[in-house]
Amino acid sequence: MSVESLFPRLEPLLPAVQKPIQYVGGELNSSVKDWDGAQVRWALMYPDAYEVGQPNQGVQILYEILNEREGVLAERTYSVWPDLEALMREHGIPQFTVDAHRPVGAFDVLGISFSTELGYTNMLTALDLAGIPLQAADRTEDHPIVLAGGHAAFNPEPIADFLDAAVLGDGEEIVLAITELIREWKDEGRPGGRDELLMRLARSGGVYIPRFYDVTYLPDGRIQRVAPNRPGVPWRVAKHTVMDLDQWPYPKKPLVPLAETVHERFSVEIFRGCTRGCRFCQAGMITRPVRERSITTIGDMVDTGLKESGFQEVGLLSLSSADHSEIGDIAKGLADRYEGTNTSLSLPSTRVDAFNITLANEFSRGGRRSGLTFAPEGGSERMRKVINKMVSEDDLIRTVTTAYENGWRQVKLYFMCGLPTEEDEDVLAIADMARRVIRAGREATGRRDIRCTVSIGGFVPKPHTPFQWAAQCDHETVDRRLRALKDTLRRDKEYGRAIGLRYHDGEPSIIEGLLSRGDRRVGKVIQAVWEDGGRFDGWSEFFSFARWQTCADKALEGVGLAWYTVRERDEVEVLPWDHLDAGLDREWLWQDWQDAIDETEVEDCRWTPCYDCGVCPTMDTEIQIGPTGKKLLPLTVV
């Protein structure tokens, strides 16, 4: 049965809202397939505004993979701003997709990609607008399967009550497996209803179904155990790992936004995973092992993507792009190919110890020489040992001096505040480092127009990292340390004006900490915040710490906000995500946490013997790096 477009009802409302263009759809390379010709239909959501969600690589890749399949349809939906939400409620218009403006509630699956936990309230808005019951237990066969993915899905417990399913890890292969399972179930006449479909997904071993697990608690509030509540459901659910990235060269046809977005470039993921072992970095831990794309595949993807999109910038993405074993040849090959065109290249994430000026010059050959960004993360040498960020201050000064000598004038430095074992002097050391950077630049160039921007975020301990047991620093301490740093820089007559300081208040980090390490009891807090008007919590203008604090005080019995955040866990405590397997050995993570306390550094296992983190044997995977020895040939001129 066909589903009507909601656009005739939506269009008259658009002149009354801000940025109406974001709801119109019809972008270059978007796909609208015949509804009746599809057996399985996916609505893919990034739970934030179009300008943030549209460039998201994960959603774009799955959108393209699904739409390439015969009999499968995928469309996208994003969070609507509060002004349109109010009008949609007033006029009875449900949550819609931007591709064909079909109601989200009519699809088979609503797949939501969570890069950050602060999108949880936006998910509830979308469910409610779509007419999908918030609680998974209240849904019938007529409602979509609500499925979570993305990095935050590695601990989906705080939103377990709202989810039918969650998937851990890479999505390329598992979305197709889920699609086939749903297709078979529908072809058989939907035997056993919704419950049977969820059971089939659970039995496959690759999908986590929260309702099939019971959580019991100890009198002191800690978890006693998490156990399956029916036969055939696995005790642990493992993440998915795509081993041959060359077989999945997506996106081939990048979506070109109509409205302005946060990233307007064609992005190519040059490798996945990271073994640097930064102890704060969840992305680096959960995406192991390292799997590189070959230089030739990267070249082909850039060529195809630019032709299909018309973008003028190419971003080579990964967690540490300069670590690709052939990055020098990739940079030179691409710079040679696009020299004299209006195409520029960028390397968004660069490590101090992987940076070299040859590489930087290749990337700026197109004429755009923007600022260089480095992330020492910790202000003091001691702090960097704790977090295993093996970058010395002398390394940084050598690197920025070379950059300034070669024509750069601006350097950005990223740090975190509130790291485990941190003291006031570790944060004030950031000022000393910034001064040294400016001094080095002035001495190297003889100029006074040298700038350094310091950007600081609050540290949040994350699941599946060595810091998953750590106490989070309270927001009062974080804010006090940042004020002291700001005062120190402001008083500095010699260097203060050349140093820009940007920082985030500590309060949002505490809420992110609650959501990242919370258990199922936190779901009541999320719903209460949403019912009280909580929306777009990742945006400072919408975020209300007082609202979260009040709702947490009311909803959490026997435990509170501080219990989930500033409390240190011991080794034997059952953590809410222990039944979800990222491949990492729990004992190895605990030992790395002890090494952090002892300020002991660990090498990158790409270039050293194995450290037994557990991923490769557990997941039957291995590190895959080059070099292949191949070079990028010039493009054929037609």
pLDDT digits (tens, 9 = 90+) for 498-523: 999 999 899 999 999 999 999 999 99
Tokens linked to 479? 């804010």
pLDDT band at 360 (very low <50, low <70, confident <90, very high): confident
- Report the SS3 class of residue 415: strand
Q: What pLDDT shows up at residue 638?
A: 39
Structure tokens at 414: 């990223």
Average pLDDT over residues 347-358: 76
DSSP state of 211: G
Report the chain's mean pLDDT, rounded to a whole number: 94
Q: For strand 213-217 and strand 223-228, is the pairing parallel, antiparallel, or unpaired?
A: antiparallel
What is the reported pLDDT for 406?
A: 83
558-577 average pLDDT score: 97
Among candidates 350, 288, 357, which has minimal Cα distance to 316?
350
Q: How far apart are CA 36 and CA 34, in angstroms?
A: 6
Helix (H) or strand (E) holding 111: strand 109-113
Q: What is the pLDDT of residue 299?
A: 96
Q: Retrieve residue 230's tokens.
A: 């029916």
Decide: residue 313, CB within 10 A, 0-12 exposed, 13-18 middle, 19+ buried.
middle
Judge contact between 149 and 237, C-beta under 8 A.
Answer: no
pLDDT band at 369 (very low <50, low <70, confident <90, very high): low
Amino acid at 299: G
- At 90 the three-state DSSP class reads helix
Going from the C-alpha of 329 to that of each of 626, 630, 631, the distances in angstroms are 12, 9, 7
- Encoded tokens for 440: 């080095």
Could you tell me the pTM of the whole model? 0.96
Nearest-angstrom CA–CA distance, 404 and 399: 9
Look at 32 and 611; give whichever has higher pLDDT.
32
Residue 349 pLDDT grade (very low, low, confident, very high; cuts 50, 70, 90):
low
- CA 473 to chain centroid, in Å, comes to 22
Is pLDDT above 50 for 193? yes
Local structure of 237: helix, strand or coil: strand
Alpha carbons 290 and 271: distance in angstroms, whole number: 7
Q: What is the pLDDT of residue 408?
A: 85
User: What's the one-letter identity of residue 406?
Assistant: N
Which pLDDT score is estimated for 348?
Answer: 75
**What is the chain's alpha carbon radius of gyration, rounded to the nearest angstrom?**
25
Q: How far is CA 221 from CA 54, 161, 470, 563, in A?
A: 40, 19, 18, 9
Q: Which residue has the higher pLDDT, 628 or 442?
A: 442
Interatomic CA distance for residues 302 and 308, integer angstroms: 10
Mean pLDDT of 340-363: 81
Q: Would you say 519 and 158 are in contact if contact means Cβ atoms under 8 Å apart?
A: yes
Cα torsion 217, 220, 222, 225 to 10°: value is -30
**Higher per-residue confidence, 21 vs 629:** 21
Q: Is the pLDDT of residue 421 over 90?
A: yes
Q: How far is the C-alpha of 208 from the C-alpha of 216, rounded, in Å?
A: 18
Mean pLDDT, rounded, for 536-541: 96
Q: How far apart are CA 337 and CA 509, in angstroms?
A: 43
The sign of the torsion formed by the CA atoms of 486, 487, 490, 493 equals negative
Confidence of residue 1 (pLDDT cuts 50, 70, 90): low
Res 94: pLDDT: 98
User: Is residue 311 within 8 Å of 257, Cβ to Cβ?
Assistant: no
**CB atoms < 10 A from the CB of 142, how many?**
10
The per-residue pLDDT for 52 is 97
C-alpha–C-alpha distance, residues 124 and 122, integer Å = 5
> Which 3 state secondary structure label does DSSP give 574?
strand
In whole angstroms, give the CA distance from residue 207 to residue 214: 16
> 376-406 as b/e, with b when 16 or more CB fall inside 10 Å?
bbbbbeebbbbbbbbbebebbbebbbbbbee
Give the per-residue SS3 of 474-517.
CHHHHHHHHHHHHHHHHHCCCCHHHEEEEECCHHHHHHHHHHHC
Residue 283 reports pLDDT greater than 90: yes
Reported as type and span, the H/E element at residue 62 is helix 57-68
> What is the reported pLDDT for 364?
78
pLDDT tens sequence across 194-230: 999 999 999 998 999 999 999 999 999 999 999 999 9
Q: Residue 373 above 90 pLDDT?
A: no
b/e per residue, 63-89, with b = 16+ CB within 10 A?
Answer: bbbbbebeebbbbbbbbbbeebbebbe
Structure tokens at 184: 């078979």
The region of weakest confidence among 137-141, 294-298, 357-361, 532-536 is 357-361
- Asked if residues 38 and 71 have their Cβ atoms less than 8 Å apart, the reply is yes
Placement of tokens 């109601």 in the chain:
103
Find the range with the poorest average confidence among 50-54, 326-330, 402-406: 402-406
Cis peptide leading into residue 289 (ω within 30°):
yes
Is the predicted pLDDT of residue 116 greater than 70, yes or no?
A: yes
C-alpha to C-alpha distance for 434 and 150, rounded to whole angstroms? 35
Q: What is d(CA 577, CA 583) in angstroms, rounded to the nearest whole number? A: 12
* Whole-number Å distance between alpha carbons of 621 and 633: 31
Q: How confident is the model at residue 146 (pLDDT cuts 50, 70, 90)?
A: very high
Query: Amino acid letter at 266?
Result: F
Q: How far apart are CA 220 and CA 629, in angstroms?
A: 59
